[in-house]
Structure 1
Amino acid sequence: MNTAKLELAAQRLADAEEAREAAAADVKAESAAVLAAGGTEDDIVDATERSADELRQL
């Protein structure tokens, strides 16, 4: 049985999950910076093109 393709797919999935976590952390940090600078939740929603609910789930 050859599992090379499965192993590659699993590694790509792990890499994508890691990248998503890093991007989510960046969005959280930058959102906090916008709020600290006097921005609003609407500013963040507009800039990210994500709903407020999506952003809260990060």
Structure 2
Amino acid sequence: MENEDRNRRGRGRYEGDREMHKAVCSDCGAECEVPFEPTEGRPVYCRECFKKRRPPR
């Protein structure tokens, strides 16, 4: 049982069911879904715009 719990922790952040919330991208205006509840007054970006804004690694 303990090994099963340990194995689950190492999986990706987005595995399993996540509640998605509808939003409008603050950059391009496209409708999108995000894995968090958008907060009024804070920008939300679609996947493509988020990639453009993300600093290089």
Answer 1 or 2: which has greater strand percent.
2
TM-score, length basis structure 1: 0.28
Where relative contact order (Cα < 8 A, 6+ residues apart) is larger, the structure is 2
Larger Rg: 1
Answer 1 or 2: which has greater helix percent.
1
